[in-house]
Chain A
């Protein structure tokens, strides 16, 4: 079965540079979520999109922005990178409309590991 695809899997950047992470949700899923997980931490919610509209916003820095495109893939743009941005960034997707047993279940990608030097 198709899963959530994230790219790149690993990314190394210098301070003050810009990074873009991409997420391709499971086909037919209508909602995308972004999470940040620091070393030894639980995942922290950044932002979510339902049907290409922002549906909720968490602790996402103003230096970060995200959007969901017409083909439902999403991108997380991070500018003016800081050392503290080094983390695993996860994308997840879910199907919110429907009556299937998996409705509302989040499926996560393998993550993109960002290292800021």
Chain B
């Protein structure tokens, strides 16, 4: 059974700092990996999708990497802003013996960027 772990559970940084969020998964036979952002009581916004054959994806100030063999992904946020404050969720699709028709989520990292 695929399990996803995110570290740290919470992070508080001053505005302008660069930061890294970590995600690990137990089964490396994944189909793809997505990073999401969730504001309190709101829906999930897709930030980046990394296919299993890719090593990284970039969008604006965000860069996500994938090391499938070690079961790890990182989300790098450059020059953080107060508007980046949210919960960041890592989710993987697939795994040995499982289907590709579901995402398994980590418990998220609650990020607070202080002005």
Where the two chains meet, the residues of A that have a C-beta atom closer than 8 Å to any C-beta of B are 31, 33, 41-43, 45, 48, 50, 55-56, 58, 88, 90, 92, 102, 104-111, 113
Contacts and interface: CB of A to CB of B under 8 A. Distances in A.
Contacts of A107: 46
20 contacts: A31-B101, A33-B101, A41-B107, A42-B89, A42-B107, A45-B103, A55-B101, A56-B99, A56-B101, A56-B102, A88-B41, A90-B43, A102-B49, A104-B31, A105-B46, A106-B103, A108-B43, A108-B44, A108-B45, A111-B42
Of A42, A48, A56, A90, most buried by chain B (CB within 10 Å of CB) is A42
Contacts, number: 58
Instruction: Decide if the interface of chain B is mainly helix, strand, loop or mixed.
Output: strand
Nearest to B99: A56
Contacts of B106: 42
Given A33-B102, A48-B101, A105 B43 contact: no
Given A42-B89, A90-B44, A106 B34 contact: yes
Interface of B: 31-32, 34, 36, 41-46, 49, 51, 89, 91, 93, 99-108
Contacts of A105: 32, 34, 46, 49
A82 to B, nearest CB: 22
A111 B39 CA distance: 12
Contacts of B49: 102, 104-105
A102 B49 CA distance: 8
B108 A104 contact: no
A90 B41 CA distance: 11
A42 B105 contact: yes
Contacts of B32: 104-105
